[in-house]
Chains A and B, each alone.
Chain A
């Protein structure tokens, strides 16, 4: 059962040459149309990942534009507009201004957002750290429950899946409803940010949360769908008002005529804007896992990690696994934690089937839809130079 609205977020335009390339990329088989016939997208099946969009050789697939909503909010003197940017945006935004892929433009990005008129420039990396605290603690509780520690009976089953990727969450809801208890109940960093911005930050800044307008800059088209899901109202308001993609931010900067490359490097505003390296790597496949391991290891062992890198979970292999021995001080013994990282939903079915059949040896599984992680998301700059 699909409980979420079908949005038609991703559409095929009349520029479609019916080359069939997109149907080979779509992870859910949502694109219909034979070779030589204009294609259409079944929005019920579509998980809004936008991989077809960034890979279409003719630029014939588009996402629903939202930039005008942001411009309107910034022009409204009654609105207090705050902005958050996902980790993956800062290493790709520069490509729209002629820089090489992977160039870090974090400081210029903050400066540009201030120039565009946002009242506070925060960072999704803050709430990525918050996600690690909540999701990591939830994992520890599930492991304690599994080894029979009392007081954790109400936690969910193992293994625990990550919940950051909205394309993955919709895929699981549509195709594998029995796996949902395994998905971490922690919201994604984007939605956590919206919830704390309109409560904690509004209180601290003495702003009426009804006047606060939360904008996200995301490397992802599925985040546009996520922020519109009806259950994300725990602040008492719509937690995140609108999402624009990395491409739309670049468009905005060009529309206003800001000379991006000559901007100074600035910093994010404090309160809910500072971040760590663990939050930065959320944008890469394996990054959420590595960030969680850094925190879970130190909290469980009560020791300081000498080497913070867990390189075993890095790489571009679609399915990677690792085992980490954590000396758990509270239990007085070493517990091996088996982890798995999946990038690309076409590889996740086998992993899920093992979990549902009770054959899975894993404790924690990270799933991201896009090859390589959010840095290759459907909202990132399109590399037309490839064709």
Chain B
């Protein structure tokens, strides 16, 4: 009875060829993925070196806190808040702060009608 007779869609030769291609595809995927991961790892390497450069520069600085910068103290005492160091003073607010999104047209209107007295 033909029901029990073994039938194959592939010939033996086609099966060997097909398996070989599948194995090759799997191996190549691995190789390319490895290449990709290596590129990513290398990219983190230069990032880490630049970061290390920044932190060692920080350590080499004589002053390491913003509020101790003598020119910062000077600009507040002489210009932004005369006589004292007072951030968010009126002048500091005018020069050093901004607004975002839908508030920008208002801010620009204000800047145009209230030109800085400093100029």
Contacts and interface: CB of A to CB of B under 8 A. Distances in A.
Contacts of B61: 275-277, 280
B72 A278 contact: no
Interface in A165-201: 169, 172-173, 177, 180, 183, 185-187, 191-192, 195-196, 198-200
A336 interface: no
Given A1-B101, A387-B39, A277 B52 contact: no
B54 A1 contact: no
Interface in B29-67: 39, 42-44, 46-61, 63-67
B46 A101 contact: yes
A27 interface: no
Interface in A10-56: none
Given A172-B100, A278-B66, A134 B87 contact: yes
Interface string B53-86: 1111111110111111111100110011000010
A274 B88 contact: no
A298 B70 CA distance: 16
Contacts of A237: 119
A173 B100 contact: yes
A289 to B, nearest CB: 13
Contacts of A294: 64-66
- Size band of the interface chain A makes with B: 35 or more
Interface stretch (A60-68, A75-83, A372-380): A372-380
Contacts of B56: 104
A314 B39 CA distance: 24
Contacts of A281: 54-55, 58
Contacts of B79: 199-200, 203
B116 interface: yes
Contact of A187 (B87, B96, B103): B96
A352 interface: no
Contacts of A372: 47-48, 50-51
Given A1-B102, A231-B98, A231-B99, A278 B43 contact: no
B71 A203 contact: no
Given A191-B98, A200-B75, A203-B118, A3 B67 contact: no
Interface string A267-284: 000111111111111011
Interface stretch (B10-18, B19-27, B104-112): B104-112
A173 B46 CA distance: 32
A260 interface: no
Which of A276, A280, A383 has the most chain B CB atoms closer than 10 A to its own CB?
Answer: A276
A232 interface: yes
A338 interface: no
Given A134-B96, A137-B87, A199 B118 contact: yes
A192 B96 contact: yes
A280 B57 contact: yes
B28 interface: no
Interface string A122-150: 00001011111110111001000000000
Which of B54, B56, B68, B80 has the most chain A CB atoms closer than 10 A to its own CB?
Answer: B54
A357 interface: no
B57 A106 contact: yes
Contact of B69 (A106, A141, A276, A308): A276
A383 B57 contact: no
Which of A129, A274, A298 has the most chain B CB atoms closer than 10 A to its own CB?
Answer: A129
Given A173-B101, A231-B111, A291 B66 contact: yes
Contacts of A308: 64-65
A132 B67 contact: yes
Contact of B111 (A102, A134, A234): A234
A209 interface: yes
A246 B50 CA distance: 14
17 contacts: A3-B101, A91-B50, A131-B96, A133-B76, A133-B87, A134-B96, A173-B100, A177-B101, A180-B101, A185-B99, A234-B111, A234-B116, A276-B63, A295-B67, A375-B47, A375-B53, A386-B43
Interface of B: 39, 42-44, 46-61, 63-72, 75-76, 79-80, 85, 87-88, 92, 94-105, 107-108, 111, 115-116, 118-119
